[in-house]
Structure 1
Amino acid sequence: MIASEQNLFALAVEMSLDGIVIGDKTGNITYVNDAIVKMMEAQSKDEIVGKHILEFVDPNERQRAIENSQKCETTGEGWKDQFTATTKTGKKIPVELSAAPIKNEKGQTIAFIDIVRAVGDRIETETRLREAHQNLALANEKLLVVGGIVRHDIANKLNVLNMKAYLAKKDGDLEALLNSTQTACSQIRRVIEFSRDYEMLGKEAMTYVNVGKVFDEVVELFPDIKLEVKNECHGLAVLADSLLRELFYNLFENTLKYGKTATQIRLSYILEDEQLKLIYEDNGVGIAAEMKPKLFTKGAGQGSGLGLYLIKKTAEVYGWSVEEGGTEGKNAKFTFTIPKTTYKQ
């Protein structure tokens, strides 16, 4: 390469908007351009040159970087990956790193060159697009589910009531007609309440909500219950909205309706693997094994089949997961797994 070409190459490297790092084969940095100095929030190149490149990689990700480098040395091929870099001020930034070996005339690796690109803005844009798609998918699902329920479920209830009215007119059994009317009205009201709650999914801004307090409020809605209620969640706060009350209400109502032998309801939590497990359980008859695979499916189970479906959808909006892990004949146990970033004690 003639001198003018070398100068042009050096100038291009120095003026690159992407960070460029050159180092020896052991990982010690021998050159960086100005973009790296700015990216790493350093005052000068001297703060970076002479350091090992792993010093700027998050400790939790260094092993992956080492494995990539070892593979590169074995195959002689470059690689690309995303890492969290640590700047001189301690700030964590996401970067995309493309690395390649520099070889001599004999094909031996004598150094490496890394092209480092900050991808924080791109990741933020991708996150916003993903959230927008999720919101759109939820909105479409609401239209399909709510529309289907209002048309199908309510129509079914009215058809049954119409048949009862016909039979009552024929047989003169007005008491049966009144009982059927009361039952149908109750069922229709529940369907309408479900559609209202379902339409609210994801609409409210989430704030930290006191779990113990919300559960106490639900218990107060059942003043005549004879069950023992243990609330061990006072002081625990989770990111949620007003539908958390509906979630607990549905669980509580299920115990009262279908727990049969239940004498106790307990709400508790445990910390496990940097996640929080929120646990609702009763000591009733539990849930039949054959019901569990479709337990959270719309229309499954006893009653309207809407309560547990709404619970699952509410949990998903919160970023939680839910599973039922009770034992048939012994207890029902619903465990909500909550990410570390969405709760506080």
Structure 2
Amino acid sequence: MIELPLVSLDLVRSVVLNFTIIATLILLYHFVPDSILTRSRLAHPVGVGIVFGLAAALSIPAFWGDNAPVVGFNIILVPLAGFVAGPISAALVAAVLLLGSYASSGSLSSMDILTVMCGVLLGALFFEGRSWKRFPRSFRLQILLLGTGVAFIEILSAFLSSLSRNASPVAPAGIPSFSLFPFFIVSFGVTVLLGAIIGFIDRKKQAERELLAYRDHLEGLVGKRTAELKTANALQKATIESTADGIVVMDREGVIRAYNRKASLILDLPVHPHKEGDGQFLDRAAAILKDPTEFLRQARSLPESAEQIVIAGITCKNGRIYEIFVHPQQIGDRTTGRVWSFRDITDQRLAEDAIRSANNKLNLLSEITRHDIFNQLTAVTAYLELVQAENHDPSASGYLEAMKKSLEVIRFQLEFTRDYQNLGLNKPGWQSLVDAFTKAAEPFKSRNVSFCCDMERIEIFADPMIGQVFYNLIENSLRHNEMISVIRVSLMAEEPDLVILYEDDGTGVLPEEKEKIFLRGFGKHTGLGMFLIKEILSITGITVRETGTYRQGVRFEIRVPDGKFRFP
């Protein structure tokens, strides 16, 4: 046999043959499904042990007509299996090698057993060592150390085998002692190379597992979000369909993109929207209106972010009356279109018209009745004055004076019904406080009273009878204290509200009467003036209370809530 320097051809042939078989079968490890290896904690080491055990079995020299030792170079597989999957894998591979050795030679040498046990321990050491704090974390360094350990096991085995034969130390398969160093290099290199291949396969599988897990996670999220979107869309559709308003969504170009069934009936649209749109919204809306001129004018002049009632009370050709709202459709800060709402107020308008007609008739009846009562009251008063003029009986004078006062009370009550009749008759609107107070104070200019209006040009949202509030306050101040010299109206800010202050320098109100003065019928006169004030203000949510100090004058605080006042 030809011998190369330092290395025999038998060694080379054995290394090449075994390495080829081992490398090929280890590469098959790449194709073992992870679903098998990761099924349980035991499945992984057993699966790895089977793959490496198959490689060990096929690399037994007897299968290829060779008489080389079974354990020898194949010992590399034992620590590699332990390195990858732990002691169980290493033990399975060791069992395969020992069975192969027994089948080849008919017995097991103590050296083979020792060598295999060293391989199992080495693999187990590196597998468990990964959890140790001081164990090297670098995979490359671990492979280098493993290769060194395998090489030492190989050399130690060869050396001990030579000693057991009482001969000079030689390596397996007749390798001279000076050739142990190349044998060390070969064992080290093959172990490192195979370990690198296995490490690459493991990293690749780990990356694939992570990708699959991430894909499953993403698919789960997508499925969950899809289900949530379907639920949200179904809920939104059900909500839109259940509303009594007709709802139309148009894009920035004015094309109808979505609508509910109510809107399809109003605008004569198909039951289901088309993907390409259902025409221009303004054209559709104009086609159903009796007179679309005003609607089109206001709709076309709307700013992009408009959120308001376009027209309240437009009449369609079929006689129905609608109130139209418009809202911007936004995605984040971007306006993508508009949402139009058609609210049918036909029945409401008919009811309002009926109530208005009935009120007008009742008001007319009240005016006629009140006029007739005033006429009769004037006649009774005139007759009473004639009786008083011709009366010479002192005992009857008291009765006649009481009758006269009763007639005056009746007159005041009739005047109150005339004022209260107009309460709420007209819609609330923006009223100027300065103008209302100035007009209310005009009838009292002849009195020796100074009226101070310390208010800016401010408007409040109130009933048109707001002037009656100031009139009753002034009249109430002068009736209860003729020595009043100053009446002042001013403003006081109490965020977020606005407080209107009415003050005089009269006697004021007793503490126990501050709440009672607003009750109907309370007071020395008719007891209706302050009650009317409270009723007028309450129409738009404005409140009033008396907070003055007795004997220092009255102080009425009229509180206007936020949104009900403005500075024009």
Deviations 1:126-154 (A, max 9, x none): xx9xxx9xx9xxx9xxxxxx9xxx9xxx9
In the alignment, is the contact (CA less than 8 A) between 1:269 and 1:278 conserved in 2?
yes
| Aligned residue number for residue 234 of structure 2 | 16
Is contact 1:233–1:267 with CA below 8 Å preserved after alignment?
yes
2:491 pairs with 1:273: no
What is the CA distance between 1:16 and its match in structure 2?
1.1
CA separation of 1:184 and 1:121: change in aligned 2, threshold 3 A: same
Match of 1:335 among 542, 547, 557: 557
Q: Separation in 1 of the partners of 2:225 and 2:458?
A: 63
Deviations 1:25-51 (A, max 9, x none): xxxxxxxxxxxxx99x99xxxxxxxxx
CA distance in 1, matches of 2:224, 2:515: 67
Residues 218, 15 of structure 1: alpha-carbon distance in 2 compared, 3 angstrom cutoff: closer
2:532 aligned residue (310, 335, 345): 310
Looking at structure 2, the residues matched to 170 and 222 of structure 1 have their Cα atoms a distance apart, in angstroms, of 38
Secondary structure of 1:239's aligned partner: strand
Greater Cα shift, 313-322 or 232-241? 232-241
Extract unaligned runs of 5+ from structure 1. 20-37, 43-85, 92-119, 140-145
Q: Is the 8 A contact 1:284 1:331 kept in 2?
A: yes
Q: How many residues are paired up?
A: 228
Against the structure 1 CA distance between its residues 298 and 12, is the aligned structure 2 distance closer, same or farther, given a 3 Å change threshold? same
- Please state how far the C-alpha of 1:240 moved relative to its aligned partner: 2.2
- Structure showing greater radius of gyration is 2
Q: What is the aligned partner in structure 1 of residue 439 from structure 2?
A: 217
Deviation of the 1:190 alpha carbon: 1.3
What value does the CA root-mean-square deviation take over the aligned residues? 4.7
How far is 1:88 from its partner?
Answer: 3.1
What does the per-residue CA deviation read over 1:261-304, in whole Å, with 9 as the maximum and x for residues that have no partner? 42210011122112110111111110011212312111112211
Q: Post-superposition shift, 1:172?
A: 5.7
Alignment TM-score, normalising by the size of structure 1? 0.53
Structure 1 residue matching 2:231: 3-state secondary structure: helix
How many Å apart are 1:208 and its aligned residue?
1.2
Letter of the 1:218 counterpart: A
Residues 236-255 of structure 1: matches in 2 within 5 Å?
Answer: 236-255=458-477
Is the aligned partner of 1:88 residue 2:310? no
The answer to whether the aligner puts 1:294 opposite 2:516 as a matched pair is yes
SS in 1 for 2:549: coil
Higher relative contact order (Cα pairs below 8 Å, separated by 6+ residues) = 1
Task: Please state how far the C-alpha of 1:324 moved relative to its aligned partner.
Answer: 0.4
Classify 1:199/1:234 alpha carbon distance in 2 versus 1 (closer, same or farther; 3 Å).
same
Distance 1:6 1:196, change over 3 A: same
Q: 2:413 aligns with which of 168, 172, 191?
A: 191
- Is the 8 Å Cα contact of residues 391 and 397 (structure 2) preserved in structure 1? no
Q: State the alpha-carbon separation in 1 of the partners of residues 229 and 549 from structure 2.
A: 70
Q: Counterparts of 1:10 and 1:296 in 2: how far apart (Å)?
A: 56
Identity among equivalent pairs (%): 25
Could you tell me which of 485, 498, 504 is aligned with 1:282?
504
Amino acid of the structure 2 residue aligned with 1:306: L
CA pair 267-234 structure 1, distance change in 2 beyond 3 A: same
More helix by share: 2
Contact 1:260-1:285 within 8 A present in 2 as well? no
Distance 2:486 2:229 in 1: 75
Tell me the CA shift for residue 332 of structure 1.
0.4
- Quickly say closer, same or farther: Cα 1:190–1:90, change in 2 above 3 A: farther
What displacement does 1:186 show?
Answer: 2.5
* Amino acid across the alignment from 2:236: D
Measure, in 2, the Cα distance between the counterparts of 1:277 and 1:213. 17
- Give the direction of change, closer, same or farther, for the CA distance of 1:288–1:260 in structure 2 (3 Å limit): farther
For structure 2, the residue ranges without an aligned partner over 5 or more in a row are 1-219, 238-247, 253-328, 335-340, 360-365, 375-379
Matched residue SS, 2:518: coil
What secondary structure, in the 3-state scheme, does the structure 2 residue paired with 1:16 have? helix
Residues 452, 487 of structure 2: 8 Å contact kept: yes
Alpha-carbon distance, 1:173 to partner: 6.1
Q: TM-score, normalised by structure 2?
A: 0.34
User: 2:216 aligns to what?
Assistant: none
Structure 2 counterpart of 1:247, which letter?
A: V
Which secondary structure does the structure 2 equivalent of 1:17 belong to? helix
Displacement of 1:210: 1.1
2:556 partner SS: strand
CA distance in 2, matches of 1:320, 1:10: 46
Task: Give, in angstroms, the shift of residue 7 of structure 1.
Answer: 12
Give the structure 1 partner of residue 484 of structure 2.
Answer: 262
Residues in 2 aligned to 1:319 and 1:307: alpha-carbon distance in whole angstroms = 19
Residue 171 of structure 1, CA deviation: 3.4
